Amino acid sequence: RRIMKAKVDPDLCIGCNICIDVVPKVFEMQDDKAIVIVDIVPEECESDCKDAADQCPTAAIEIES
C-alpha cells in the first residue's frame, strides 16, 4: 500500500490548533506552531489527516502519498 506523510509549513501555520484537535496522533503544538510527530501517518489516521489539511485556514499542511 502507499504510505502517507504529512508536513506543516511553519511559515504558513498560524497555530489555530485545528489539526491537533482533528488528529492528535499526528500533530502536536510546539512553540505556537503545529509539528508532525510521526514519520509515516498511521493508516487509521489518513482520512482525518486529509480533513485537517482541508480545514487548515492557511493551507499549511502538505500531504504526500
Query: What residues make contact with ligand F3S under the rule CB under 6 A?
Result: 8, 13-19, 34, 56-58, 60-61
Query: Smallest distance from the beta carbon of 48 to ligand F3S, in angstroms?
Result: 12
In the bound state with ligand F3S, the residue whose beta carbon lies nearer, of 19 and 41, is 19
In the bound state with ligand F3S, the residue whose beta carbon lies nearer, of 1 and 39, is 39
Residues 6+ apart with CB under 8 A from 21: none
45-50 own/partner pairs: CB under 8 Å, 24+ apart: 46/4, 48/22, 48/23, 49/4, 49/6, 49/23
In the bound state with ligand F3S, the residue whose beta carbon lies nearer, of 40 and 59, is 59
